[in-house]
Chain A
C-alpha cells in the first residue's frame, strides 16, 4: 500500500470527522459510530469539493493540489471541534444493556453476516473492472475524461458540441449530470497513479460502512437501545439491492440514499435537542442532494416542504394543507404552469405532460402494468427481503408511538409523500416503462430506504423496558 493511497483515504476521513465534531461536539450514546460514519462520507465529499476547486488545471496530480487545502480545512475544523468539545460536557454513557442471550446470539450472527458480506463486497470492488451500465456510461465518463486528459474540460449538450468544433468541449448522454462524484473519483484516481477502476470505486464500500455506522450512531443518540439499533443496522445493511449497489459500485443512488438518510437523522436530532449543529448537518445534506443526482432536487423540495410544515404553528398547518390542496387543484385546472425547482430549472406542467429540464419529458397516462411492476418490485422480487411487507405491519403495530412523536410522524409523512411521488412517476407518466423493465424503479426506491428504516427503527425504540440511565442528549439542549 503506497503512502499516497493511505493519505487519500486518511485525509478525507480526518477532514470529515473534524467537520462532524465541529458541528456536533457533544459525546453521548453512539457518538463514535456517528462520527466515523458521517465523517467518512462527508470527508469523501469534501475531497470532491477540494478537487473541483483546486485541481482543475492538473487532474493527474489532483490529490497533491487538493490535499493541502483539505489538510488546512481539517486542521482548522479540528481546532474548532476541540474548542467546542471542551466547552460541552459529555453525556454520561449508558450502561451495557443485559439483553436476552438469544437476542445476543442472533445479533452476533447478524453482525457476522454483515462482516462477511462486507468482505465479499470489498473483494468484488477490488477485483472487478467497472461493470454496471450507467457506472461507465454516465457516472465515470467525466472523471475518466478529466483524469486521463490531465485537466478539466466542460461537458456540454450535443448541439453546443457540434456548434463549437474548435473548443475543447465534450459531450455524452449524461453531460448534464452533476459532477460531484466524478470529482471524488478524480481524487482517488490521482493517488492510484492511473485510471484503475477498483480504486476509484472503493469509496462505495466506505459509503456502505459510513451509512451503517452513521445510522447506528444517530439512532442511539435518538434514544434507540443498542439491541434495536444493531438490529436496524443489520436490516439496512443486509438489503440485497443495497448490497448490490456497493458490490457493483459506480451508481449515484446509494449516495443520495445516504445523504437523505443522514439529513433525516440530523433533522430528528435537531427537533429533539435543538442543537444548531444538527440543523446545519441536515441543511448541508439536503442542499447536497441535487449536486449528487438530479432527482435529488425533488427530495430537496419535499424535505423543505415537510420541514416548513413542521415548524408552522398548529393552526397555520391547516392553512398550509389547504394551500397545498389549492395548488394541486390549480395544477389540475390550469392548462399550463411553470414551477421553479432548484437544481433543475423551470419545470413545465400541462395536462398532457411534464417537462423537467435535464431529466426529460413525461406524458401523463395511467399504466396498470407499471403499477403491478411496482408491487412486484416491492413485495415479490428478492431485492428488499421483507422490508416492504413489514412496513405496514410495524406502522399499524406502533401506530401510537408514531402518532405521539410529531417529528417521527412528519418524517413518516415525508417517506409517504416520497412514495406517492414515485408511484405517480412510475404509473402515470412515461417513466412507467422504467418500472415495467425494472430499470429504475428499485433504484429510486433505494433512495428512500434509509429514511424508511429510520422511521421503523424509531417507531420500535420504546419496545424494550428502560434498563439504562436516561441519556442527557434526550433532554432539551438550548445550545
Chain B
C-alpha cells in the first residue's frame, strides 16, 4: 500500500516537474502572481475602427478604412521583466479575425511592435511574453489589433462586432505559467498556406507550441516510475509502455481533431450554404480575383492567342494572378531573363516596384532591361502594356 502511495506521489511530482519545465517555471516561483496589473477594456481608446465603453469593457463595432481595428492604452511605464504574463479575454470574437498584441517601449517610442497572439476563444487566454525578445525595457503603450486572417478570410466579410472585456499583466507564477502552457497547446490556430507542409503553430502565432515532446517525456518518466516503484517485470514494463503510447496517441489525436474541427469551423462559416459562384466571390484574395476578372474580360475582347507576361513584387500575387487568369496564356516576366520578348506580347505590371512604365521613354523599365511598350489597359493597381515591334 505504502509503495502505491509513494508511486502516486512520485507520478504527481514527475508531472509537476515536466509541466513546470515546459512552462519555463523555476522551482521557487510563487503559486499566485506577486504583482498584477488589471487593464479593463473601457480604459483602452479606439485608435482604428469604432468602439464604445460598455460596463467596464469596450464594444468594438467597426473597423477602420484599412479593415483593421486597434485599441490602445497608454501606460505609466511598467518594467516588462516584472510583468511577463499576459491574460486577455474577449467575447464573441469572430473566428474570421486574427488578434495581435501591439506595444511600444520607452527606448524606441516611435517603433510599434506587433505579434500575432492566440485567437481568443471563450474565457481567458494567456501568453508568456517573457519568451518574446522584444518584451524588455519599459512598456509605455499596449494595445490589441484585429484584422482579417491573412490569406484565408476575404476582408469584406471578416468583421463582426465583438467585446473586449479585459486584459491583465502579471508577474511570473505557477498559475500564469501553466495557463500559458495550456493556451499554447490548445489555442485555435487557423489554416495557413504552410499548413500543407507542416503544422508548426510555434512559428505562425506567438505563444503556441506542440505538446508532443513534453507529453512523451512525461509518459516515459511515468512508466519508469511505475515500473520502479511497483517492481514491474520486463513484460509488464513493455505492456505499460504500450498502453501509455496508445493513450498518448489518443490524447494527441483528440487534440488534433479539436484543432481540425475549429479550423473547419471557419470554412463552414465562410462558405457553407453558398453556391460555387458565390464562393468564388469570397476568395481570400478578393482584390486579386477582381483584378484578374477585369483583365480576363479585357483579354477576351482582344484577338485570340495573346500572351501575357506578369510582374509583381509579391510571389504570391503574380503566381495567383496567373492561375486566376487561366486559360489566358500568362507567364512570369522574371523567368524570361535576358531573352528577347516576342513583339505584340502583353505585359501586366501589378503593384510592381521592380518594373515601371517610363512615359518619357515609352518603355517598361526593370533593372538594366527596357522594353518599348504602349499602355493598353488599366484597372486599379494593374497596368497592361503591349510591346512594340521595336522591342528587343
A: residues with CB less than 8 A from B are 106, 109-110, 113, 116-117, 120, 123-124, 127-129, 131-137, 140-141, 144-145, 148-149, 158-159, 161-162, 165, 168, 170-173, 194, 196, 198, 235, 238, 240-241, 243-245, 247-248, 251, 377, 379-383, 385-386, 389-390, 393, 397, 438-443
The reply to whether B257 and A116 form a contact with Cβ atoms under 8 Å apart is yes
A290 to B51, CA, bound (A): 58
Q: How far is the CA of A240 from the CA of B253 in the complex (A)?
A: 8
How many whole Å from B318's CB to the nearest CB in chain A? Answer: 10
Task: Give the nearest-CB partner of B253 in chain A.
Answer: A238
CB distance from A320 to the nearest CB of B (A): 36
Q: Are B331 and A383 in contact (CB under 8 A)?
A: no
Q: Does chain A have a CB within 8 A of B345? A: yes
A243 to B255, CA, bound (A): 14
Given A117-B257, A381-B210, A386-B248, are A149 and B198 neighbors across the interface (CB < 8 Å)?
A: no
Complex alpha-carbon distance, A109 and B307, angstroms: 56
Partner of B213, one of A136, A244, A380: A380
Task: Tell me, in angstroms, the Cα distance from A393 to B245 when the chains sit together.
Answer: 11
Given A380-B213, A386-B248: A162 touches B342 (CB 8 Å cut-off):
yes
19 contacts between A and B (CB under 8 A): A106-B246, A120-B257, A136-B323, A137-B320, A141-B322, A158-B332, A158-B335, A158-B336, A162-B340, A162-B341, A162-B342, A171-B331, A238-B253, A243-B260, A382-B210, A382-B211, A385-B212, A393-B241, A438-B203
Which among B87-95, B160-168, B187-195 touches the partner chain? Answer: B187-195
| Interface pair B267/A128, CB less than 8 Å apart | yes
Looking at B191, B198, B340, which has the most chain A CB atoms within 10 Å of its CB? B198
Q: Are A377 and B345 also in contact (CB < 8 A) when A140-B323, A382-B256 are?
A: no
Give B residues with C-beta under 8 Å from A: 152, 191, 193-201, 203, 210-213, 216, 238, 241, 245-246, 248-250, 252-257, 260-261, 264, 267-268, 270-272, 276, 279-280, 283, 305, 307, 316, 319-320, 322-323, 326-327, 329, 331-332, 335-337, 339-342, 345
In angstroms, Cα B280 to Cα A38, docked, is 34
Q: How far is the CA of A247 from the CA of B253 in the complex (A)?
A: 16
A377 in contact with B198 (CB, 8 Å): yes
With a cutoff of 8 Å between Cβ atoms, the chain B residues found around residue A158 in the complex are 331-332, 335-337, 339
Residue of B nearest to A125 (CB): B267
A127 to B263, CA, bound (A): 13
Check if B196 sits within 8 Å of A443, measured CB to CB.
yes
Chain A residues positioned under 8 Å from B257 (CB to CB)? 113, 116-117, 120
Contact status A123-B264, CB under 8 Å: yes
Q: Does A380 contact B264, Cβ atoms closer than 8 Å?
A: no
Q: Is the CB of B271 within 8 A of A127?
A: yes
Known: A120-B264, A240-B199, A439-B194. A148 touches B326 (CB 8 A): yes
| B193–A133 CB distance below 8 A | yes
Residue of B nearest to A253 (CB): B196
CB B383 to nearest CB in A, in angstroms, measures: 22
Residues of the A chain whose Cβ atoms lie less than 8 Å from the Cβ of B337: 158
For the complex formed, measure the closest distance between the CB of B373 and the CB atoms of chain A, giving whole angstroms. 16
- Of the candidates B200, B253, B319, the one having the most CB atoms from chain A within 10 angstroms of its own CB is B253
User: Which chain B residues lie closer than 8 Å to A110 at the CB level?
Assistant: 250
Most chain A beta-carbon contacts within 10 A, residue among B196, B245, B267, B329: B196
Max chain A CB contacts within 10 Å: which of B203, B270, B279, B340? B279
Please pick, from A170, A381, A386, A390, the residue contacting B329 in the complex, using a CB distance under 8 A.
A170
| B326 interface neighbour in A144, A165, A377, A382, Cβ under 8 Å | A144
For A248, give its contact among B195, B241, B327, B340 (CB under 8 Å): B195
Please indicate the chain A residues that have their CB under 8 angstroms from the CB of B196 in the complex: 132-135, 244-245, 248, 251, 443
Closest chain A CB from B300 CB (angstroms): 12
Residue of B nearest to A243 (CB): B260
Say how far B28's CB is from chain A's closest CB, in angstroms. Answer: 28
Q: Within the complex, what minimum Cβ distance (angstroms) separates B185 from chain A?
A: 9
B200–A124 contact, CB under 8 A? no
- Asked if A443 and B331 make an inter-chain contact with CB atoms under 8 angstroms apart, the answer reads no
Minimal Cβ-Cβ distance residue in B for A460: B242
Residues of B within 8 Å of A196, CB to CB, are: 276
A195 CB to nearest chain B CB (Å) = 8
Check if A123 sits within 8 Å of B248, measured CB to CB.
no
User: Smallest distance from the beta carbon of B50 to chain A beta carbons, Å?
Assistant: 31
* Bound CA span A247–B259, Å: 13
**Min CB–CB distance B284 → chain A (angstroms):** 8
Chain A nearest Cβ from B95, distance in angstroms: 14
Which residues from B are CB-within-8-Å of A109? 250
CB pair A379–B197 under 8 Å, yes or no, is no
**What's the least CB distance linking A184 to chain B, in Å?**
18
Smallest CB separation, A126 vs chain B (Å): 9
Bound state CA distance, A397 and B245, in angstroms? 14
> A129 and B252: CB pair below 8 A?
no
Do A381 and B339 have beta carbons less than 8 Å apart? no
Q: Which of B200, B216, B270 has the most CB of A within 10 A?
A: B200
Taking a contact as CB atoms closer than 8 A, the residue among B197, B241, B332, B335 that contacts A439 in the complex is B197
**In the complex, A439→B212 CA distance in Å?**
20
**A390 touching B267 in the complex, CB below 8 Å, given contacts A131-B191, A170-B329, A438-B194:** no
CB-nearest residue of chain B to A135: B196
Chain B, Cβ-Cβ closest to A137: B319
**Which of A120, A159, A172, A194 touches B261 (beta carbons < 8 Å)?**
A120
User: Which residues in A have their C-beta under 8 angstroms from that of B272?
Assistant: 127
Give Cα A97–Cα B254 distance, bound, in whole angstroms.
27
Distance, CA A141 to CA B331, complexed state (A): 12
Residues of chain A lying within 8 A (CB to CB) of residue B339: 158-159, 162
User: How far is it, in angstroms, between the C-alpha of A30 and the C-alpha of B20 when the chains are bound?
Assistant: 47
What is the chain A residue whose CB lies nearest that of B273? A127
Most buried by B among A117, A148, A243, A381: A381
